[in-house]
Amino acid sequence: MGGPLVRAASAARPPPLGASPVFRAESVDADQTTRNNNHPLATNSPASPARTRTDVSARYGEWIPWDVDGLPRGSHELSDEEVDEIMEFENQVALVTGAAGAIGKAIAMRLVQEGARVFISDLDQARLDAICAELGPNCRGLAADVTDQVQVRRVVQAALAAPNNRIDVLINVAGLVGKGGPVEEMSLENWESVFAVNCRGTFLFTKEVVPLMKRSGRGSIVNFSSKSGKTGSALMSAYSAAKAAVIGFTQALAFELAPTIRVNCVCPGITEDTGVWSNVSADYVQNLKLPMPEVVKKFTSKVPLGRLARIDDVVNLTCFLASTRADYMTGQAINVTGGREMH
């Protein structure tokens, strides 16, 4: 290995997307060679970040998500080994669904920070455009309904417009809680919509990406279940059943796709600063006439670690499972619940 690298205190975050267009499905039909050579992420494109160790250190200095050896953020030296650890996903292509949500966006951000070229999808193109502008030229996105096979296929084809024509990592975050309530009052429409997003969406993206991973000889898939997929939640039978199905799907694929492709599952508990928490806590405030501090206390009273999950807790596990650091792990459904769920 070479000598240490200096991380500049003034290192700027990668430039915003600006006027560069987000991928559109119609671009997939362009000539393959021309598309790859002109694509902003292509290695021979003027917009592509340099990939030398020094340039990585300078470009991502302020984005490094933790302090190295306890040193404060700012100007200090990074060894090649430390850069390798920080840039875990360098030169990899990752596809993240549900990326307009708090957790999906945070995962996409971490992957970009660690060197990946990331393609994101969700329902709202304007929201995706804003996220891409925030995360810089290594993030692109295309809106799609995860329950629609044609739209899913367009997203996967658009992601392949990045160099190397491959997808190394698939993270299926997209999900739907649906309306809770007694099973006898639940509509068939609600039941089917919850299963469509959580199960069909996960299936469709996996179905499209697996052949690509087989072709390249490697891949990592991380699906999103829930604590409710391990131990069902009262008045949330559709969501609990759908998330349990995601775990079963994950485990079946782990056997089916080994040793080429690893498939694992993240099972978060209630997580702060997410749409799920906002909806659940608002329901408790309204229906039980409890002030918010009491709602938080109600949820955390059964958590051994005494707090709700944080988004970073979920992101840390997700990116670990997606990375080569988890190369001997497949078929696992791992809880992020502070001990609330232990099986």
Out of 60, 239, 284, 328, which one is annotated catalytic?
239
Cβ atoms of 100 and 77 closer than 8 Å:
no
CA separation for the pair 65, 46 (Å, rounded):
27
Neighbouring CB atoms inside 10 A of 32's CB total 12
Q: Within 13 Å of residue 7, how many CA atoms lie on the same side as its CB?
A: 24
Residue with tokens 């915003």, as numbered in its chain? 16
| Residue 239 annotated to the active site | yes
Q: Say whether 311 sits in a helix, a strand or coil.
A: helix
Task: Classify residue 258 by its DSSP letter.
Answer: T
Continuous H helices in the chain: 32-38, 53-60, 80-86, 102-113, 125-135, 149-159, 188-195, 201-216, 237-257, 275-287, 292-300, 311-322
Cβ atoms of 322 and 169 closer than 8 Å:
yes
- Catalytic residue list: 239
